[in-house]
A and B are shown apart, each in its own frame.
Chain A
């Protein structure tokens, strides 16, 4: 593996996530009745390659690798897999991998597209911290949305009296809702911390605390969406399916618009 670059290691990790995605189809068809140890092991193994890619890039730049779309995607995926490996220590939560790996594969293939791994100029430590916190929050939102997706599946199975609801080795819907809520709270805290650094960075770079940049407005919308979702969860008991759809929808919005917003943002161009 001496000849592999960080992109090579990352491509290897994406290949592994692809294998996991294929195996996930089998788990799905089998009704999640078997322990998901194999999928967990596959993701854990290729996570090593992913971490190696991150480390190589980080050491070569002497900073956290979060400064272009390739690095951002790599970082979000790394956060998702790391969170999954921790949650997956609990047997019933190991199936989250089956929900995560298809998205990881899609994100990985997108990240490897040419033109995304651009060379950045000097980036301050605070800018790196700002980006890292925000990308960590997207990772938490991602794994939270997978838990919500699992909730929707189990809840539907219970409503429709499908045998899979009982025969599968999946957690209760209350537990899934709890996990999803906690991950979204963690994500919102990280996003708030990351965004709170933005005015300082703006002042340093452009001499103003705020400007109506596409990504800044978009980040505000994402923050507001998650904040409303969590507040509604408590104040008006909008838990259950509505909350789960909100979590899945919000993360889908982030994934689908992240690339376009980065292209539109002048404040986030080198």
Chain B
């Protein structure tokens, strides 16, 4: 009985289509029960995240026929009336297994190599397992997928480094400071990216956060969310002496921090390192401050370049990961591993 996969993802359709086909956790057990009751599948797992909806199933009927029927089932379930035009991918072995392994490794994710999908995959599998919708084949395939993801993470650089501006900023801070635990963060301008960056720094142990914003109410709201304190925008420089990391993203049309202002502050700080992250456009911090000793200024382009560097490094690892995945999928399909012989079929795109 082969494992088949049907699904759609960020690669094949836009979010407005993906959201139409999404399953909530509450709906998944009933959908799997229905599939089994119709005799389409004997085992099944439904993975539904913001970037994909996939069904992994075991069938004892003709794969091509079941894949078509599965697609029709999903379309009917979600009352999707528009024409289907290449949104779905349909895989039979060995591609179905290779795809599962790729998903587990984050190789099919929007952010190459991200690890969140592994947790989502485990959750989807646990849900099916709890409701007894999995059997020997899917249990083995999913367990193997989790092992492959672990192996790929340790054997390659596919998950190494930061590929977002917020995590690049954290990594940068960790290259400057011994530990983030005794360092304070200041957020100037309560924008979305600065909030994410502050959150990322706090999650890595930063001591506290101070928020300064033109609208004090917005600063207070963000400070409350981050567990920090809000200060008036006119007085933010007074707090500067104790701050080690600054994230600036105001809408000011001119520099709010320049060399003349920072020089005496650095003297008072006894030249302790200061990381300035300027993600505002137009920029908030005069580039000249980077020439001051112990001051490290990074703007949005610098951070993006770091993230791109890591992404490039991850892309260079794809071939290595694919070779591991192919080998592991073949090993799983060998008669000794699966307990029976399978005749692999080629994938048929919808």
Contacts and interface: CB of A to CB of B under 8 A. Distances in A.
Contacts of B313: 167
B271 interface: yes
B306 A166 contact: yes
A167 B309 CA distance: 8
B296 interface: yes
B126 interface: no
Interface string B152-180: 00000000011000001001101111100
A174 B176 CA distance: 6
Interface in B241-294: 270-271, 273, 290, 293-294
User: What band does the interface of chain A fall in when counting residues whose beta carbon is under 8 Å from B?
Assistant: 10 to 19
A37 interface: no
B265 to A, nearest CB: 14
Contacts of A178: 178
Which residue, of A166, A174, A237, has the highest number of chain B Cβ atoms within 10 A? Answer: A166
A199 B290 CA distance: 50
B176 A240 contact: no
A249 to B, nearest CB: 17
Contacts of B294: 240
A241 B83 CA distance: 65
Nearest to A177: B178
A159 interface: yes
A174 B293 contact: no
A174 B177 contact: yes
A161 B301 CA distance: 10
Contacts of B271: 237, 239-240
Given A158-B296, A173-B273, A163 B176 contact: no
A154 B302 contact: no
B310 interface: yes
A175 interface: yes
A148 to B, nearest CB: 15
Contact of B302 (A161, A173, A241): A161
User: What band does the interface of chain B fall in when counting residues whose beta carbon is under 8 Å from A?
Assistant: 20 to 34
A165 B309 CA distance: 11
B310 A167 contact: yes
A172 interface: yes
Contact of A159 (B161, B162, B270, B296): B296
A159 B290 contact: yes
A161 B309 CA distance: 12
B305 interface: yes
Given A159-B290, A161-B298, A174-B178, A167 B161 contact: yes
Contacts of A175: 178
Given A163-B309, A167-B161, A167-B313, A154 B178 contact: no
A161 B305 contact: yes
Contacts of A158: 172, 175-176, 296
A61 to B, nearest CB: 44
Contacts of A172: 174-178
Interface string B163-200: 00000100110111110000000000000000000000
Nearest to B313: A167
Nearest to B290: A159
A237 B270 CA distance: 6
Interface string A228-256: 00000000010111000000000000000
Interface string A154-198: 100011010101110010111100100000000000000000000
A166 B273 contact: no
Contacts of A174: 176-178, 273
Given A172-B178, A240-B271, A163 B293 contact: no
A124 B336 CA distance: 74
Given A158-B175, A161-B298, A172-B178, A241 B305 contact: no
A110 B302 CA distance: 45
A97 B309 CA distance: 26
Contacts of A237: 270-271
A166 B171 contact: yes
Contacts of B178: 172, 174-175, 178
B305 A165 contact: no
A241 B270 CA distance: 14
Contacts of A163: 305-306, 309
B295 to A, nearest CB: 9
Given A158-B175, A158-B296, 9 more contacts: A166-B306, A172-B176, A174-B176, A174-B177, A174-B178, A239-B271, A240-B271, A240-B273, A241-B293
27 contacts: A154-B175, A158-B176, A161-B298, A161-B302, A163-B309, A165-B172, A165-B175, A166-B161, A166-B171, A166-B306, A166-B309, A166-B310, A167-B161, A167-B310, A167-B313, A170-B175, A172-B174, A172-B175, A172-B177, A172-B178, A174-B273, A175-B178, A237-B270, A239-B271, A240-B273, A240-B293, A241-B293
Query: What are the 4 tightest A-B residue pairs by CB atom distance, in nearest-first order?
Result: A237-B270, A174-B178, A163-B309, A175-B178
